[in-house]
Amino acid sequence: MAIAPLGVAGYLGWVGYRMGDWGGYNKLQDGAWAHKFDWGRHSLDVLTSVPVGRHDYRFAMPMEDMIGVVVVLLVPVLTVLLLRLRPPAVLVVYTVLSYLMVMATQQYFGNVSRYLLPLFPLFIPLALAMRRLKWPSLATVLGTAALASGSYAGYVLFELGVP
């Protein structure tokens, strides 16, 4: 636990040194990918626009943003299911803080599902529920999930070219 923050600080320091500005990493993120901390303004704009069919916000991609909205709205539900299992506090803190960091950042909202992948503790309740499935049902669920995620990843990579 002590080494990870040192690694992050070292990397941020190295980028700042190479760019000649101690805020270089943030400038790089903003300039190259329009990715910056905005206290959630952009996320709120997307979450209030997409469900009502409005797409006049920055970086609008209707289909990808709808998938992102669904994923973002599933996180609180999965968090409640995780809390019912009484996991170690470190998993809850990690999950909640990671979610808040993603939601407080301006980004291509279509990428939000990718940014939320590190929230692996949210899969624990799903895994526990799936262990009750019989083999054919489990193969169907996992196969469908693999096909859906693979086809979406291919679409994003080859059709959109989203970073």
Residues 24 and 65 in one domain: no
For the stretch 65-94, pLDDT in tens is 888 899 999 999 999 999 999 999 999 999
Q: Do 123 and 62 reside in the same domain of the chain?
A: yes
Tell whether 125 and 69 lie within a shared domain.
yes
Amino acid code (one letter) for 53: G
Which amino acid, one-letter code, is at 145?
A
| Contact status, residue 46 vs residue 69, Cβ threshold 8 Å | yes
**Range(s) of the domain holding residue 70:** 36-132
Question: Looking at per-residue confidence, does 104 or 156 come out higher?
Answer: 104
pTM (predicted TM-score): 0.77
* In a domain? residue 137: no
Q: Are residues 8 and 58 in the same domain?
A: no
Is there a single domain that holds both residue 29 and residue 57? no
pLDDT in the model for residue 162: 57
Residue 53, domain member (yes or no) = yes
Residues 55, 124 within the same domain? yes
Among residues of the chain, what percentage have pLDDT more than 90? 51
Q: Residue 56: which pLDDT band, with cuts at 50, 70 and 90?
A: confident
pLDDT at 57 > cutoff 80: no
6 found inside a domain: yes
Regarding whether 95 and 17 lie in a shared domain, the answer is: no
Q: What is the C-alpha separation between 92 and 40, in angstroms, rounded?
A: 21
How many domains does the chain divide into? 2
Three-state DSSP class for 106?
strand
pLDDT confidence bin for 11, thresholds 50/70/90: very high
For residue 117, what pLDDT band results from cuts at 50, 70 and 90?
Answer: confident
Pair (52, 106) in one structural domain: yes
Cβ-proximal residues to 115 (8 Å cutoff; 6+ apart), any chain: 102, 105, 107
| Least confident among 11-20, 55-64, 130-139 | 55-64
